[in-house]
A and B are shown apart, each in its own frame.
Chain A
Amino acid sequence: MNNISTFIKKEFLHVFRDRKTLLMLFGLPIVQIILFGFALTNEIKNAKIVVCDYAKDAASQQIIGKLQASQQFEIQNVLLSHNQIEAAFKNGEIKMAIVFPANFNNDLLHQNKAQVQLITDASDPNTATTISGYATQILMDYQNELMQLQNLPYQIHTEMRMIYNPELKAAVNFVPGVMSLILLLVCVLMTSVAIVKEKEIGTMEILLVSPFNPFLVIVSKAVPYLALSLINLTVILLLSVFVLGMPINGSVLLLYAVSTLFIITALSLGLLISNSTASQQAAMLISLMGMLVPSILFTGFMFPLENMPYPLQLVSHIIPAKWYYIIVKSIMVKGLGFSAIWKETLILLGMTLVLLVVNIKKFKIRLT
């Protein structure tokens, strides 16, 4: 054990003596938090919605028909009561719920005024505003058609309700995104480069020709980056709570537990890269092009996955950051517990185990 602790101490020395990299590691999340989140407007297609129709009359049916016919929406379900809406949102499948009050048609025809409620999941504010805009447009169209037919000033009032993130703070969207990217960057890039560096300067040769278990070399390398990542995570969370005013709604403990799992996933990826490369440059290139870029593209915080062609959506399933992003959003923004994220956590756990097994199988006790 004395051996391992010496080794880990040595790794920390490496990290702390490389001032530039250290500055970058801690500067990057701060800069990203400040830079990211500038509104990206995105066109949304086939957003899944539910309808809660208390009216069940001609007018509501016609509007539902129009919604269904539009390219933007895909009606998942017609619900019977308000209570089911919350459940549908927590499932995470739907983006918006539309509620028609009882006597919708009556109100419209006799009082010339009727109300519709649009409830959107604003934990993704861009999507929420965009799709509520689409829905309002469709309602307006219907209203105009009525006016032309009967020349009476019919009015449909849309009452909008954004749940989970009523102020439409962009932070809730990009903080989890930055978290997944930073953790990925630190763990995959830094770890793989640190290990390949030992190969490049030749110290790996000496370490192999020693009684030290070569696999522990790798494990010891990973420890400082696990610690660094947890510090980074704390910095990001503190920034988001105190600077961006974005509270952590769920359990902080759960958040750290899942983050540790994701860090281990990323570390295993870093190990895999270091196992299959011989130079720091190659390790860096593979980490950036092979890991970071796909993660930015397929995590869903910059480009909504719903808009992507189906094959690309399939690709997104193998990106660990995507699952972590979903989990962080569920915990931080929606304040959900483990029961809501067990599926994603299980996927991450599975990925980690597979990566670790591959690492152990591929691990070389000799030079190639």
Chain B
Amino acid sequence: MKDVFLNNISKTYHKGMVQAVNDVTFHVSKGELFGLIGPDGAGKTSIFRILTTLLLPDGGTASVNGFDVVKDYEAIRKNVGYMPGKFSLYQDLSVQENLNFFATIFHTSIEENYDLIKDIYIQLEPFKDRRAGKLSGGMKQKLALCCALIHRPTVLFLDEPTTGVDVVSRKEFWDMLKRLKQQGITILVSTPYMDEAMLCERIALIQNGRIMSIDKPKNIIEQFPEDLFAVKSDTMGNLLHDLKNTEIIKSCNAFGAYHHVTFNHDDPEMKEKLIRILEEKKHMNIELKPITPTIEDCFIKLMEN
């Protein structure tokens, strides 16, 4: 059973000058937690807006719950929950007023679906008379999620829900999504944070409006074609430069405390060879270890291809 279908969806802006979404095809099963992973401007929001019937695609077809996004937009609007990228609630209304308002708009009440939002709402309750504009980032996001859930949607669209939210709140948020998934709600979430990709069941890596890969995060990592190593020395700036100018190195990217490198040939001797080269270039305290690729490594690899 599939809840969301996209077939060859394309979208351009400025009279075709900007290709935001380019021939995108994927589907999401019922009750799945699906992530759309890509940097800003990759086309994530455009895809979400097409699926929530806010934008008309230039080409291709898409459906949600079996309803066509163009023809049956009214049916889709009744059944889905949508949380847009930027904080989109009424700043001058209180938590309670915002929630009541959205409940009424969706022909329901807080009481009716209280079990669904209970876990989240309990955290908001102490602030229920506070204006939404005066909440912290994490609280705003919880309120927005409550409002999107209030009518028990069949499919939930969350456009970059964790952007601009602190690490603790982000973690809490993903825990909440897992609980919602257990309630049988299909969830589509987009994020620019690669580390969050691992929390999804399946992900699509998207760049410049094109999908580069769709699979379980685990499988995407397994498909990483080369052995990956992390390198460190006392002079990281020079190290990056030197690595880039070393013949045996295929790719090299800065990754926090380490640089991630792959070799032209996956050959056990390469490790020794690289250490020798780096020592010749006067690098001190060289550390080189094999690592498992992250989604970010995979993303960069796919981008370079």
Interface residues of A (CB under 8 A from B): 2-3, 6-7, 10, 13-14, 17-18, 201-203, 205-212, 365-367
Contact = CB atoms under 8 A, between A and B. Distances in A.
Interface of B: 49, 52-56, 73-74, 77-78, 80, 82, 84-93, 97, 100-102, 104-107, 147-148
B77 A210 contact: yes
A interface, over-half SS: helix
Given A7-B105, A18-B92, A205 B84 contact: yes
Nearest to A18: B92
Top 10 closest A-B pairs, CB basis? A202-B88, A6-B104, A209-B82, A211-B78, A17-B92, A205-B84, A367-B54, A209-B52, A212-B105, A202-B84
Given A207-B105, A209-B54, A210-B106, A13 B97 contact: yes
B151 to A, nearest CB: 8
B105 A210 contact: yes
B55 A6 contact: no
Contacts of A17: 92-93
Given A202-B86, A209-B82, A10 B52 contact: no
A209 B53 CA distance: 7
Contacts of B97: 10, 13
B189 to A, nearest CB: 16
A6 B103 CA distance: 10
A366 B92 contact: no
A211 B107 contact: yes
A17 to B, nearest CB: 5
Contact of B82 (A3, A18, A205, A212): A205
A206 B88 contact: yes
A211 B91 contact: no
Nearest to B85: A202
A367 B84 contact: no
A205 B88 contact: yes
Nearest to B100: A6
Contact of B93 (A3, A10, A206, A365): A10
13 contacts: A2-B104, A7-B105, A10-B101, A14-B93, A17-B92, A203-B89, A205-B49, A205-B88, A206-B148, A211-B78, A366-B54, A366-B55, A367-B55
B53 A203 contact: no
Given A209-B52, A367-B49, A367-B55, A3 B90 contact: no
B147 A206 contact: yes
A208 B54 contact: yes
B130 to A, nearest CB: 13
Contacts of A201: 86-88, 90-91
Given A7-B101, A365-B73, A366-B73, 16 more contacts: A2-B104, A3-B105, A3-B107, A10-B97, A13-B93, A14-B90, A17-B93, A201-B86, A202-B84, A205-B54, A206-B84, A207-B105, A208-B77, A209-B52, A211-B106, A366-B56
B104 A206 contact: no
Contacts of B49: 205, 367
Contacts of B90: 10, 14, 201, 203
B77 A209 contact: yes
Given A3-B105, A366-B56, A14 B89 contact: no
Contacts of A211: 74, 77-78, 105-107
Given A366-B54, A366-B55, A206 B102 contact: yes
Given A206-B147, A209-B82, A210-B106, A366 B53 contact: yes
Contacts of B104: 2-3, 6
Contact of B80 (A10, A18, A209, A365): A209
B108 to A, nearest CB: 10
A20 to B, nearest CB: 12
B92 A13 contact: yes
Contacts of B86: 201-202
> Which of A2, A203, A209, A366 has the most CB atoms of chain B within a 10 A radius of its CB?
A209
Contacts of A203: 88-90
A207 B77 CA distance: 9
A367 B54 CA distance: 5
Contacts of A212: 105
A206 B49 CA distance: 11
A31 B73 CA distance: 49
B35 to A, nearest CB: 20
Nearest to A205: B84
A193 to B, nearest CB: 14
> Which of B84, B97, B100 has the most CB atoms of chain A within a 10 A radius of its CB?
B84
B77 to A, nearest CB: 5
A162 B78 CA distance: 66
Contacts of A3: 104-105, 107
Contacts of B82: 205-206, 209
A201 B92 CA distance: 12
A6 to B, nearest CB: 4
B70 to A, nearest CB: 10
